[in-house]
Structure 1
Amino acid sequence: MAVVQDPLTAEIALMPRSAIEATSVDYVLSLEKIAELFIRLDQNNLEQR
């Protein structure tokens, strides 16, 4: 899974843009939304155990 910060919310947009161009990206999100995604994925993982 590839998660990249939204270039519009990044301090330096070049870095996430490069990642988006270099690979297949599953999520392009703001930092806040990335944190929420990781928490949700972790909770789902714990529930499956």
Structure 2
Amino acid sequence: MRMNTFRKEFIKIGGKVIRHARQITLCISSAYARKKEFAGLMYNIQNE
């Protein structure tokens, strides 16, 4: 995967960030094609 493709498909994501006292939630459209891959990427980042 080229960096431009990565940037286009994973970084430029339209969504809504909801912030509460102890939790931050990212709401992504249900039509987003790479939702599972994005969730796996975020899981790996959090567990490093």
Higher normalized strand content (fraction of residues)? 2
What's the TM-score, normalizing by structure 1? 0.33
Higher normalized helix content (fraction of residues)? 1
Higher relative contact order (CA 8 A, sep 6+): 1
